[in-house]
Amino acid sequence: MGISALFKRNKEDKFVSLLLRQCEATVEGVKILETGLTRPHAALEPIRAKEYEADELRRIIIDELHNTFITPFDREDIFNLSLHIDEMIDYALTTLEEMEMLKVDADDYLKTMVSLVRQEAEELTMAMHRLSANPRVAGDHARRAKKLESEVDHLYRVAVAELFTRPKDFKELMAMLKRREVYRHVSNMSDRADAAANVFGMVVMKLT
């Protein structure tokens, strides 16, 4: 292996490792959300700590981008991939915070949507694992994440449609609006996973 190839490999390992750690922190954060749906208050401290860890990894990635001339794939793709993954855990935290603040309990729709988003995060993590050695396999995982996002989107629409059939008075209307807000955070989290999957798709196309 030549010196230039070795140098590039070291840079690749650095960025891929950081992005992988960020993906893994996001999976852990979504798992905290999933297990904390029935007791949001108890899950707030753990998910805030995990969100801080993920934010720190993003800050390091941005700093490394400023300090590194050679990157394993386009700088813009590294930046955007990190951004969308970071937004996922931000929405996971917001979901729990607003469930606690608005006193919204977890129904079956919410539990299922969060479970699907957790699977999206896991697929993105697998895509990151495979990106260097097996980019086409990484692309397969990204496509699975996109398919899961479609399921979340469909379920979100069904859940919101059902909500609008419930209100009989002002109190029920307010409860409906609060629940829809929580649903929307989870839907947004899923959208960010879809955006990350799109970046993976572009990276795979460029690498292959």
* Phi–psi pair at 37, nearest 5 degrees: -60, -35
Residue type, position 201, single letter:
G
Torsional sign, CA 20, 193, 84, 132: positive
Segment 74-104, tens digit of pLDDT: 999 999 999 999 999 999 999 999 999 999 9
Query: What does the pLDDT read at residue 12?
Result: 52
Query: What does the pLDDT read at residue 5?
Result: 43
Residues of the chain with pLDDT below 70 are 1-12
Contacts 24+ apart (CB under 8 A), 188-192: 188/91, 189/30, 189/87, 189/88, 189/91, 189/92, 189/95, 189/117, 190/113, 190/116, 190/117, 190/120, 190/148, 190/149, 190/152, 190/153, 190/156, 191/149, 192/84, 192/85, 192/87, 192/88, 192/91
- Please give the model's pTM, rounded to 2 decimal places: 0.92
Residue ranges and CATH numbers for the domains of the chain are: 3-207 (1.20.58.220)
Between CA 123 and CA 138 the distance in angstroms is 9
